[in-house]
Structure 1
């Protein structure tokens, strides 16, 4: 039975998130409905990670098993014609039968986008956090250095996060852009806690606004206290850009890979 890996792009504004939920449409539900129309059978789709309501993706990864054998172009030309305009398949490949999009992941890259114009932007309002006060980008860059490495990120997890522990490895945290225009926080790591990237962004913005000194970020990290960190940035600025894979599952180490309840949303 073939196992297919799909790479998805979506604009998450009108969705309750990745996972099927009773209160509204999800990315998973519209994808499974489209696949049922294409394949003539109901399939269950697993993803590399959950994204929350309003969060977007350029490189979400999903996989499923099917009895049907179709050419790969069916998942572009065929399936995309059955999906809503804010969800699309951008790549499709057959993978080994034991491929797991979550457990085989070597890490992910997220981008959190801020619009720092002096006035509101109709074109950015669903894809950026709009902050009208000038941000000190250089101060945020210097502060971000404290957040890179292997640490306990308890200060940056959501209160309802179900992760068994908060040890994660952030490989890089770049602050891109310029004050008065678009600014991005680009975070790459092995795995992420619930709302971790949004909490990192909200904390760095406190430094960018001049409300906190750069060294405060290191103090927050060391405290492991969520109440000491900045606010959770709104969901619309977050994009899952890429999920990284090798030839097989990575070695299992504490914090090195996520399970179903351990992911950024």
Structure 2
């Protein structure tokens, strides 16, 4: 069966997350239903990561197996037609080898979290950012984040429902920048690792917000990490500000994708 890699973008707000649910809308379900319009049978789409309720995808990667030998461009176009009106788009589709796997072949995941700092409620950015009313000390958050870089036991920043076999992960990068957004000042958190635990990004960002607001000192991030106790975690921020931006592969099928 020919295998195809899909570069997927979606608005996470109307979905219960990536993973197909029996009685709830999901991104996986929307794509599998669209595939069934092209080849009437049950389909199974595998993603690089299972995003939670409300979490968005800019560069999610998935793969599917087809009966027919499709032209990748035409397969992507046909899927986009049948995905309407769901807020899901196949940005690119590429043919890959039978042993290429969206999840297990991946060597890196990249996330962005958008935090809007303003007192007025968000309107045009509703569902796209996490708003806090106070300004944040970006330098203090950078100092706190530095304690998390490298190989650590991230039990504190792991959901109690996480199914990963080990809480030990290597955090490659946490880059924090302040930007002028259309709705006001935003703080962007860029996180990069081979893989992440369930709720790890949201737990880290929520704890760093405590540092930025002055509730915690930067060293408290180190103390929380070393506690290896979920109770030591700060706020777990909502999923609406979180975006899966990209997935890295040794032989990336989308390496030459220009973003069209």
TM-score over 0.5 for the pair: yes
Q: What does residue 90 of structure 2 align with?
A: 89
Deviations 1:144-183 (A, max 9, x none): 1111111110010001111111010110001111596111
CA contact (8 A) 1:16 1:23 kept: no
* Worse overlay, 72-81 or 90-99: 72-81
Q: What does residue 261 of structure 1 align with?
A: none
Structure 2: segments with no counterpart, 5+ residues:
253-260
CA contact (8 A) 2:20 2:28 kept: yes
State the distance in 2 between where 1:66 and 1:215 align: 52
Distance 1:40 1:23, change over 3 A: closer
Q: What does residue 189 of structure 1 align with?
A: 193
CA contact (8 A) 1:109 1:186 kept: yes
Deviations 1:14-35 (A, max 9, x none): 0011111123110011100111
Deviations 1:193-215 (A, max 9, x none): 00000000000000011001011
Aligned residues between the structures: 248
Deviations 1:89-129 (A, max 9, x none): 00111111011111111010011111112211211120111
Equivalent residue in structure 1 for 2:213, among 205, 209, 225 = 209
Q: What does residue 236 of structure 1 align with?
A: 240
Q: What does residue 51 of structure 2 align with?
A: 51
SS at match of 1:159: coil
* Worse overlay, 89-98 or 78-87: 78-87
CA contact (8 A) 1:57 1:239 kept: yes
Instruction: Give the CA deviation at 1:73.
Output: 1.8
Q: What does residue 258 of structure 2 align with?
A: none
Hey, which bits of structure 1, 4+ residues long, moved more than 6 A?
Answer: none
Instruction: Give the CA deviation at 1:63.
Output: 0.7
CA contact (8 A) 1:72 1:92 kept: yes
**Two-structure CA RMSD over aligned residues (Å):** 1.4
State the distance in 1 between where 2:97 and 2:76 align: 21
CA contact (8 A) 1:34 1:82 kept: yes
State the distance in 2 between where 1:174 and 1:59 align: 18
Q: Give the TM-score normalised by the residue count of structure 1.
A: 0.90
State the distance in 2 between where 1:77 and 1:164 align: 38
Deviations 1:68-94 (A, max 9, x none): 112122233221011134100001111
CA contact (8 A) 1:9 1:58 kept: yes
CA contact (8 A) 1:63 1:101 kept: yes
Q: What does residue 138 of structure 1 align with?
A: 139
Matched, 1:109 2:110: yes
Q: Give the TM-score normalised by the residue count of structure 2.
A: 0.92
Q: What does residue 7 of structure 1 align with?
A: 7
The 5 Å alignment of 1:2-81 reads: 2-81=2-81
Structure 1: segments with no counterpart, 5+ residues:
249-265
